[in-house]
Structure 1
Amino acid sequence: MKIDDLVIPETAACVAAREVATAYCSPALLNHSVRSYLWAAAHAKEAGIAFDAELLYVAALLHDIGLTKEFDSHTVSFDEAGGHVAWVFAAGAGWPVARRVRVGEVIVRHMWSRVDVEEDPEGHLLEFATSVDISGRGVDAFPAGLRAEVLDRYPRLGLKDEFVACFESQAERKPDSSAAAAVRNGIAARVAANPLDA
């Protein structure tokens, strides 16, 4: 499998999601978001998982927007904040209410420890892919050539330090958040050991 075998959808909503992520995310966080979609699409292709590419792409591009200063809520976890931003974004894109709810669910569920692929294929794929990109969990499922291509086209740009700093800040300010739980469960050590940064 090669990176060009993975189709990035070019619907108006996908183009706009990329524009929003580019405007608000750091270059490292933007590349993480794109890589998350690519890991998800590659896993789906390999495992034969049918998924909604537009829904997954928009969720992947916006899943960490709650970590940015403009959308960092002082009351809710970054994933919940991101889900709300995505709902508003999807309303602006003209999506029906049920689809707006779905994109928010996918974003919130990316912080779950596991998402049932039968119940929510897009949520499963984003949870799997973000785990690959942040902690390296499951990275060996991808051929070395594909990993090299993805990292060459979308380099990590110091993501590990930026990401841990974001989570530690979230944890300090929001001790009941998903980020705080991740910090307590050793996310920093897992990020430091990610073979994608080797």
Structure 2
Amino acid sequence: MNRDSFSIATSSKAEVVEMQTAESRPLFREPKVVIPVPTPQTKYQHVQPGVPDTLLAREATGLLHEFSTPLLFNHSHRVFFWANEMGRRSGQPYDQELLFICAAFHDLGLLEKFSSAEDRFEVDGANAVRQFLEHHGVPSARIQVAWDAISLHTTPGIVQYKPIEVELLYNGVGLDVLGIGYDEFPDDLRKKIVAQYPRVNFKQDIAKAFLGGFEHKTRSAEGTCNEDICSHFIRNYKRSNFYEQIQSSAFPNSE
């Protein structure tokens, strides 16, 4: 046996599996079920003032117009403008077009049209943006940034070690949903953005939108902040317990 293969013992025989280094494989693993991302009608493909006026941005806006809700349309745009200002103030170069596309797609997984049966809603949105960008021939490295940004947009403690667009989206979502950084954001710009994209009953309706996105697959929320939504809205909801899972493992302690 050479150094490029190794043996895995099974009940009947030893199988030889070829080894691969990570860089020799595709960057992505395909989802089990691919949910098609449609091309929005041309009449919906008009970007809002301040959004990069590109083909990708126009189509992403069109998806929000045609298939999303006013709640998520406004939320996604506010997230972009918060994140865009944070990027500008950071003094670091960032991909403004990709940042908008991430903001537009980050909650599409809450919608039935883009929702899978088992994956986290964040992953559904990330898989949708990957399909969208692949369709347009965007390089894989750029797609990976978008996938990471959307899949991690509710996960703390990681984004600061990812490309800046990933952190900017996370912080934009944190400001809009939780008010993190509210007092540090320029007051005049904050008021202007909210006036253009109002937060009508936002606190109550966004929580219901979250619930609608994973009420049919609550196991996908386990171990995430989304469990708190389940606990609030679903009567007798019981989350799994990590400590109990450790104790009930089939492995006995060694003597």
Whether TM exceeds 0.5 here: the answer is yes
| Aligned counterpart, 2:51 | 8
2:189 to 128, 141, 146: 146
Aligned partners of 1:10, 1:115: CA distance in 2, in Å? 31
Equivalent residue, structure 2, for 1:175: 218
Q: Against the structure 1 CA distance between its residues 115 and 37, is the aligned structure 2 distance closer, same or farther, given a 3 Å change threshold?
A: farther
Cα distance in 2, alignment partners of residues 147 and 179 from structure 1:
33
In 2, Cα distance between equivalents of 1:16 and 1:188: 36
Q: Unaligned stretches of 5+ in structure 1?
A: 1-5, 190-198
Structure 1 match to 2:106? 63
Q: How many Å apart are 1:75 and its aligned residue?
A: 1.0
- 1:76–1:123: structure 2 CA closer, same or farther, 3 Å change rule? same
Superposition map of 1:85-96 within 5 A: 85-96=128-139
Q: 1:113 and 1:57 mapped to 2: Cα distance?
A: 21
Q: Which letter maps to 2:133? A: A
Query: How many pairs align?
Result: 184
Identity %: 28
TM-score (normalised: structure 1): 0.83
The C-alpha deviation readout for 1:130-161, integer Å capped at 9, x for no partner, is 01001111111112111110000111233322
Higher relative contact order (CA 8 A, sep 6+): 1
Point out the more displaced range, 166-175 or 96-105: 166-175
Within the candidate set 26, 34, 54, 2:77 is matched to 34
Q: Displacement of 1:69 after TM fit?
A: 1.6
Matched-pair contact (CA < 8 Å) for 1:71–1:81:
yes
Q: Which runs of 5+ in 2 are unaligned?
A: 1-48, 233-255
> What is the RMSD computed on CA atoms of the aligned residues?
2.4
* Cα separation, partners in 2 of 1:118 and 1:49, compared to 1, 3 Å: farther
CA distance in 2, matches of 1:187, 1:173: 11
Give distance in 1, aligned partners of 2:222 and 2:96. Answer: 27
Letter paired with 2:181: G
State the TM-score, normalizing by the size of structure 2.
Answer: 0.65
CA deviation after TM superposition for structure 1 residue 99, in Å? 2.2
Q: Report matched runs for 1:1-198 at 5 Å.
A: 7-117=50-160, 119-178=162-221, 181-185=224-228
Residue 113 of structure 2 aligns to a residue in which SS?
A: coil
Q: How many angstroms apart in 2 are the aligned matches of 1:30 and 1:179?
A: 27
